[in-house]
Amino acid sequence: MSLITFELNRPMDFIGLGRLCIDLNANEIHRPMEETRTFTKYVGGSPANITIAIARLGLKAGFIGRVSDDQHGRFITHYLEKEGIDTTSVTTDRSGSVTGLAFTEIKSPTDCSILMYRDNVADLKLEPGDVREEYIRQAKAIMISGTALAKSPSREAVFKAVDLARKHNVVVFFDIDYRPWTWTSRDETGIYCSLVAEKSDVILGGREEFDLLEAPFGPLRQDDRLTAERWFAHHAKIVLVKHGGDGSVAFTKDGQSFTGTTFPANVVKTFGAGDSFAGAFIYGLMNGWDIARSQQFGAASASIVVSSHSCSDAMPTAEQIQAVIDKHGSK
Ligand SMILES: Nc1ncnc2c1ncn2[C@@H]1O[C@H](COP(=O)(O)OP(=O)(O)OP(=O)(O)O)[C@@H](O)[C@H]1O
Ligand SMILES: O=C(O)C[C@@H](O)[C@H](O)C(=O)CO
């Protein structure tokens, strides 16, 4: 029997919840931000990227979020609509908030960083009233981005969404998605993210992100298996720890573990790896594939996105991902 069960008779496959932002990716790569003069604009925000990845793979996706009441907000909403993503739960925030911006610095294929402008951002204005029970219960899965817990009222909106999802057997994916901006302290992050991780079916994060969740509650053990066991004692069935260019390790509640490798890439920049991986991994699970195959699909997708200039725009189709696997052989 499968570890997680998706309610197959639901019209919507997947809902993303969290930030809808803009990435400004440096055009003049291999130089510091101080010397960068031009950027290309893309839709960004990790949960937006993952939802776009899933829509590109052919699943029916929707989004719960808030956008600013200006040209940037409209750019994002139009982009989602063009991708076939349902935006009926994307609310325009009229409080004077702005769209979050992520300026990316691409110094070398291994030295990339992000500078985020996140003061008074629309995404964190998401309100519990924006989270509608009838919207959530018609979906098979929902994915929560940990950054949506950084401030109220978005924080309360997340807890409402998770409780409604659990009530209606909607599979809850939690991507820790730690961004230091907008949080007050690391303890605050660890404690709030832990509260949602406890209620989630599948948890994804990097080693340092899982450490952040463990830090407020005791000495760090920095051991992927012990991390997974912590969450299996709650509700989780799958815990996936991402290790960048070293691949990933997935643990399942029935005691198995799966080591995922990587595919060769002509790396332009490293960010976007996690989002493309997550989109394709979730797609695999939703197709009923086993963990190892889903992990392989995620890794192949990530190899395409790290070889591209953007995150959202570069999300591949299933055929493009399969072509990578066919070219390099199953890993
Ligand atoms: N340099 C690389 N070459 C090929 N594949 C990569 C590379 N870096 C990451 N990947 C793939 O992407 C997966 C996720 O990467 P990573 O652990 O960097 O996620 P992340 O930290 O969430 O990424 P992001 O930088 O987008 O936040 C890895 O498990 C691996 O399969
Ligand atoms: O997550 C963000 O807000 C920024 C992303 O869109 C960015 O491209 C990235 O970091 C992807 O991991």
In the reported structure, the alpha carbon of residue 4 is separated from the centroid of ligand 1 by a whole-number distance in angstroms of 24
Q: What is the pLDDT of residue 152?
A: 98
In the reported structure, the alpha carbon of residue 102 is separated from the centroid of ligand 2 by a whole-number distance in angstroms of 7
- Phi and psi torsions of 221, nearest 5°: -105, -25
pLDDT at residue 238 greater than cutoff 70:
yes
Over residues 161-182, the mean pLDDT reads 97
pLDDT bracket for residue 47 (50, 70, 90): very high
Instruction: Judge whether 206 lies within some domain.
Output: yes
In the reported structure, the alpha carbon of residue 269 is separated from the centroid of ligand 2 by a whole-number distance in angstroms of 12
Pairing of β 257-260 and β 248-252: antiparallel
Q: What is the pLDDT of residue 36?
A: 93
Q: What is the pLDDT of residue 108?
A: 86
Q: Of the bound ligands, which one is closest to the alpha carbon of residue 250?
A: 1
In the reported structure, the alpha carbon of residue 263 is separated from the centroid of ligand 1 by a whole-number distance in angstroms of 10
- Report the C-alpha gap between 95 and 87 in whole angstroms: 20
Please say whether the beta carbons of 44 and 145 come within 8 A.
no
In the reported structure, the alpha carbon of residue 43 is separated from the centroid of ligand 2 by a whole-number distance in angstroms of 9
By alpha-carbon position, which residue is closest to atom 12 of ligand 1?
Answer: 273
pLDDT bracket for residue 321 (50, 70, 90): very high
Instruction: Judge whether 187 lies within some domain.
Output: yes
**Ligand 2 nearest-atom number relative to CA 25:** 8
Pairing of β 90-93 and β 61-68: parallel
pLDDT at residue 224 greater than cutoff 60:
yes
Q: What is the pLDDT of residue 331?
A: 63
Instruction: Judge whether 265 lies within some domain.
Output: yes
By alpha-carbon position, which residue is closest to atom 3 of ligand 2?
Answer: 45
pLDDT at residue 1 greater than cutoff 60:
no
Q: Residue type for 184, please?
A: T
Over residues 132-142, the mean pLDDT reads 98
Instruction: Judge whether 2 lies within some domain.
Output: no
Q: What is the pLDDT of residue 3?
A: 87
In the reported structure, the alpha carbon of residue 312 is separated from the centroid of ligand 2 by a whole-number distance in angstroms of 9
* Per-residue pLDDT tens over the stretch 73-108: 999 999 999 999 999 999 999 999 999 999 999 888
Q: Which residues pair with 98 in a beta bridge?
A: 121
Number of domains into which the chain is organized: 1
Instruction: Judge whether 186 lies within some domain.
Output: yes
CATH number at residue 275: 3.40.1190.20
In the reported structure, the alpha carbon of residue 95 is separated from the centroid of ligand 1 by a whole-number distance in angstroms of 36
Instruction: Judge whether 134 lies within some domain.
Output: yes
Q: Of the bound ligands, which one is closest to the alpha carbon of residue 41?
A: 2
**Ligand 1 nearest-atom number relative to CA 311:** 26
Q: Residue type for 216, please?
A: P
Over residues 107-121, the mean pLDDT reads 92
Q: Is the pTM of this model over 0.95?
A: yes
* Per-residue pLDDT tens over the stretch 247-276: 999 999 999 999 999 999 999 999 999 999
- Report the C-alpha gap between 322 and 220 in whole angstroms: 38
Percent of the chain with pLDDT over 70: 99
Please say whether the beta carbons of 8 and 88 come within 8 A.
no
Q: What is the pLDDT of residue 330?
A: 73
By alpha-carbon position, which residue is closest to atom 6 of ligand 1?
Answer: 245
Instruction: Judge whether 39 lies within some domain.
Output: no
Instruction: Judge whether 37 lies within some domain.
Output: no
Domain that holds residue 246: 12-20+45-100+121-328
Show the ligand 2 pocket: residues with CB < 6 angstroms. 19, 21, 23, 44-46, 49, 102, 114, 271-272, 274-275, 311
